[in-house]
Amino acid sequence: MAKSSTAPQERAQRGPRLDRSGRAAPPAPVRSQTLDAAPGELDRLIHERMRLGIVSALAVNPSLTFNELKALLKTTDGNLSVHARKLEEADYIVCTKSRDARLPKTAYRLAPAGRRALERYLDHMEALIRATRDR
């Protein structure tokens, strides 16, 4: 049986969420996956293996075509397109579509926000490595 669309209304009628002590719990924070990561948290958008590969490859190349990225990362068309779209929606990469003769050509380049996100991610990983080695 399908869920009823009245579930949010029923929750509102029950009152606020309570914590373990019985007091009203604060509402859960709503955060973006990308630029709002707290200083101690990894950027979950880049941390995923395929997306980290895309951003890293574009960081050392001025631009790469879809087929070049696909070959470099050894992935499928569908997998690459889904992950590239997520990065594009976050303004981490820029996608340019054109035609070469009669064939479509898709090229990607790293956007300034993507470069900053990668640098923050690498700084965070380097700090984790240092902290682990210092123990």
Q: Is the pLDDT of residue 129 over 70?
A: yes
Using one digit for the tens of pLDDT, what is the confidence trace for 31-69?
334 444 555 678 899 999 999 999 999 999 999 999 999
Torsions phi, psi for 78 (to 5 deg): -65, -45
Query: Residue 124: pLDDT band by 50, 70, 90 thresholds?
Result: very high
Instruction: Give SS3 for 41.
Output: coil
Which pLDDT score is estimated for 22? 60
Per DSSP, the three-state class of 116 is helix
| Edge-first strand listing for the sheet containing 64-65 | 64-65, 103-110, 93-100
What's the distance, Cα to Cα, between the start and end of the chain in Å? 54
pLDDT at 45: 94
The residues, any chain, with a CB within 8 Å of residue 63's CB and separated by 6 or more, are 96, 107, 108, 109
Give the chain's mean pLDDT: 81
pLDDT tens-digit profile of 92-112?
A: 999 999 998 889 999 999 999
- Partners of 108 in beta bridges: 64, 95
- CATH of segment(s) 41-128: 1.10.10.10
pLDDT, greater one: 94 or 6: 94
List, in sequence order, the alpha helices (H) in 15-111: 44-47, 49-59, 66-73, 77-89
pLDDT digits (tens, 9 = 90+) for 71-85: 999 999 999 999 999
Structural contact between residues 33 and 90, judged by C-beta atoms closer than 8 angstroms: yes
Look up residue 80 and give its two tokens: 């690459």
- What are the residue boundaries of the structural domains of the chain, listed by start? 41-128
Task: Give the residue carrying structure tokens 């996100």.
Answer: 117
